[in-house]
Structure 1
Amino acid sequence: MPLLLLDLDNTLVDRAAAVRAWAADYLAERRADPSLLEAVVAADGDGLRPKPDVAADLTALLHLSAAESAEIIVTLRAGVIQHLRLVADAEAALALARDHGWTPFIVTNSQERQQERKIASLGLHTQVAGWVISEAVGIAKPDPRIFALAAEASGQSLADAWMVGDSAEADIVGAHAAGLRSAYLLRGGARGRRLFPLRRCWPPRSPRRWRRPWPGGERAASCMTWVSLFPYPGGLTGVSSDAGDSPRRLPPIPTRGHHADTHAGCIRPLRRHRRRRSSRRRTSGCRGPCRR
């Protein structure tokens, strides 16, 4: 049973919405200006900023006392747990993946106690085979060693594993460093989209025509979409984004060099390809079935 490695925050659980809900409640409780909501959310930095920096910014923004400043991170974490919910289709996607022979396993960066509270409070401990948390093992994504630890903890191999996450810097870069196929979930903020320059479609028809920012992994708009991206253990058979649809055939997964990912038959490599000189004008677009 191949591994399906999953990020937690903004992939299986909607942390961004939980932070926003907590911030609104906290401002109302303090009778602060509601227009500060966006600034409070920005100070959190999608959970990626160092907590001392978050505390300092919130203290200055909300004019917190010394006692309130010392407890603001504890308050923030408690508020996230209180408002946290699974993303709409996460439970169905996990069930579908398990039914088709995949082993869901969480790989997440953050404080051990906080992440375990999230997993337990939402019942994810019954839906995944286990989890690895960066604070507990002393290694964080994108370090590829954390994926090896996840495989060891699950008793599985990384040979046919996939990584699904919403962070290009942590999830997608880490997956490629570990030699894994990946699915980039376009949800949970815009982080990571600045990391990679514009990538061109492969095979390149127009060397000078660039596409939108591309992080190197398969793009997915929801959990049910990423379920359709990877092949099932029995062969290259997947399901469409609608749970009730019949299975459909996926294109073969390329194995040449760094061509590790597919998008409906369109291969998008991480490396830039050498520009070919030609006097003939080439048309833009992709030669693959996706026609992008």
Structure 2
Amino acid sequence: MERMSRLVCFDLDNTLIDRDGAFLKWARWWAGLYGVGESGVDWLVAHDNSGFRPRAELFELARARFGLAAPVDELVASYDEEHPLFAWVEQPVLDGLAALRAAGWRVAVVTNGGTVQQNLKLEYTQIADAIDYACVSETVGIRKPDRRIFELAATRTGTTLDGGWMVGDHPSHDIAGGIAAGLHTIQIGNRHATDAPAPDHQFDSVLKAFPVILAE
């Protein structure tokens, strides 16, 4: 009997792509657009909190800090379409995703974030073409670490959670969520210090995760 395909879930930001690097590039462009200089770039990076500060809150602070006239919702909407254009993906990452699929794995991106911005990142980097399904929290109405978001990814890829993996950078969202869903887990980097349970593996690059999963 042919073995059923198994599932690998990847976080997007700071896992498959360098989200913080993309934010820095955007911040330099935005600072030039608004004439706020390098100090403005430093301020944006310092207040961004790796994307975890709500965007409305960030731009409300930015309006006050830089004396901007545009309303917050307009600034956020512009950011959601601008920031993804500064994202990039390394070719070896796309090659790793392709190798997983060629080996019979189903590959899903499971990401917390807004529909417009995350979908644009996936399309612009061509990750959308390299995976089987993208599960964006705002779109589906569920956020990691809720087990249901992983169950949805399994359903949409025609798999189950049995023997699957979750690869991501956030201990409380990706690792704790993956463990709660019964998945093996790989943490990328150590940006976030939390009391979340330990992953099965921890690497400094997602590239090191591919051979571990392929060896299964």
TM-score surpassing 0.5? yes
Match of 1:196 in 2: 195
1:11 to 2:3 alignment: no
Larger radius of gyration: 1
Contact (CA 8 Å) 2:81, 2:116: kept in 1 or not? no
Contact (CA 8 Å) 2:8, 2:106: kept in 1 or not? yes
Percentage of matched positions with identical amino acids: 30
Post-superposition CA distance 1:82-126 (Å, at most 9, x none): 211114531121122223222111111111222122212222222
Equivalent residue for 2:201, pick from 218, 225, 232:
218
Residue identity matched to 1:162: W
1:38 to 2:42 alignment: yes
Taking the aligned partners of 2:117 and 2:169, their CA distance within structure 1 comes to 19
* Structure 1 residue 64, shift from structure 2 partner: 1.4
* Structure 1 residue 217, shift from structure 2 partner: 4.1
1:115 to 2:118 alignment: yes
* Structure 1 residue 223, shift from structure 2 partner: 2.3
Distance 1:88 1:54, change over 3 A: farther
Q: TM-score, normalised by structure 2?
A: 0.89
1:178 to 2:181 alignment: yes
Match of 1:242 in 2: none
* Structure 1 residue 137, shift from structure 2 partner: 1.6
Match of 1:21 in 2: 25
* Structure 1 residue 133, shift from structure 2 partner: 1.3
Q: Where in structure 1 are there 5+ consecutive unaligned residues? A: 198-213, 237-292
Taking the aligned partners of 2:187 and 2:73, their CA distance within structure 1 comes to 36
Matches within 5 A, 1:101-140: 101-140=104-143
Q: TM-score, normalised by structure 1?
A: 0.67
Taking the aligned partners of 1:143 and 1:87, their CA distance within structure 2 comes to 29
Taking the aligned partners of 1:84 and 1:231, their CA distance within structure 2 comes to 27
Match of 1:206 in 2: none
Taking the aligned partners of 2:154 and 2:147, their CA distance within structure 1 comes to 11
Aligned residues: 212
* Structure 1 residue 175, shift from structure 2 partner: 0.6
Match of 1:227 in 2: 210
Match of 2:99 in 1: 96
Taking the aligned partners of 2:76 and 2:198, their CA distance within structure 1 comes to 31
Taking the aligned partners of 1:152 and 1:167, their CA distance within structure 2 comes to 23
Residue identity matched to 1:226: A
Taking the aligned partners of 2:44 and 2:38, their CA distance within structure 1 comes to 10
* Structure 1 residue 33, shift from structure 2 partner: 3.1
Residue identity matched to 1:96: A
Match of 2:84 in 1: 81
- The secondary structure found in structure 1 opposite 2:213 is coil
- The secondary structure found in structure 2 opposite 1:159 is coil
- The secondary structure found in structure 2 opposite 1:46 is helix
- The secondary structure found in structure 2 opposite 1:13 is coil
Post-superposition CA distance 1:130-156 (Å, at most 9, x none): 111111221100011110111111110
Runs of 4+ in 1 over 4 A off after TM superposition: none
- The secondary structure found in structure 2 opposite 1:11 is coil
Match of 1:49 in 2: 53
Contact (CA 8 Å) 2:56, 2:72: kept in 1 or not? no
Match of 1:266 in 2: none
- The secondary structure found in structure 1 opposite 2:159 is coil
Q: Larger deviation: 33-42 or 106-115?
A: 33-42
Taking the aligned partners of 2:198 and 2:78, their CA distance within structure 1 comes to 34
Taking the aligned partners of 2:9 and 2:177, their CA distance within structure 1 comes to 12
Taking the aligned partners of 2:213 and 2:171, their CA distance within structure 1 comes to 18
- The secondary structure found in structure 2 opposite 1:155 is coil
Q: Where in structure 2 are there 5+ consecutive unaligned residues? A: none
